[in-house]
Amino acid sequence: MLAGAGLGSVIAESMLRIGFQNITIIDGDKVELSNLNRQNYTQNDVGKNKVDALKNRLKEINPLANIRVENIFLTEENVQQYIMNCDIAVNTVDFNSDFPFIFDKKCVEMKIPVLHPYNLGWASALIVLTAKTDPLTKIQSDFQYFELAVVEYIIGYCKKYFNDEPLWLRDVLKEYTQEPVKLPPPQLSVGSALAAALSTLVACRIVLNRPIRVFPEIYYLES
């Protein structure tokens, strides 16, 4: 189940092509021109509901796949009904509110592992939450600028555990925070592809009951 059809659109196709055939995608957004640099849509999709455009693409790849879509925004009130009978959840909901934290909480209460992929431009990271892990609020409890706190966490993790601090990522973070106006985080198609690769790999390992890294550990991959 994918909550969000932005970055989730690229992950959905990767999972479909590896063999996942029961996929639920939930998002109330429409495709915008600005999405085309990194999301799985084309010029002809602009103005269409993201979930409908994505379903059409996925069904063209595998007409036999069970692709369920819901053109709605998830809320605290409706989330539980949509995650029931879900085996794996992918959380790509924007941190415009504290709902991503609520989504995680509802999933882990139902023992559904949650994948949190991040498009870092020329890299990607993935954080996995389960019923046995701490919540992401351990990084920062406030949803405002949460993505920036995650990037700081990723940089620190790489330095501590991989002994290889991604200095280029720190430079990008510094430049981004010094912008005179608030801009969306810089994201590229490369980061989306890497996020899809990591998410698909980990989803496969979960299905095959193989060991995975869970929070506070992370997955990190750069081009």
* Residue with token string 């189940």: 1
**Dist CA 199 CA 24 (whole Å):** 15
The pTM of this model reads: 0.96
Helix extents (H) in 97-188: 99-109, 146-157, 167-177
**Domain parsing of the chain, residue ranges:** 2-135+187-222
The domain made up of 2-135+187-222 has a fold known as: Rossmann fold (3.40.50)
**Dist CA 223 CA 133 (whole Å):** 29
Edge-to-edge strands, sheet with 123-129: 66-70, 22-26, 2-3, 89-91, 114-119, 123-129, 219-222
Q: Dmax of the chain from CA atoms? A: 49
What are the tens digits of pLDDT across the range 117-174? 999 999 999 999 999 999 999 999 999 999 999 999 999 999 999 889 999 999 999 9
What is the 8-class DSSP label of residue 141? S
What are the tens digits of pLDDT across the range 71-103? 999 999 999 999 998 999 999 999 999 999 999
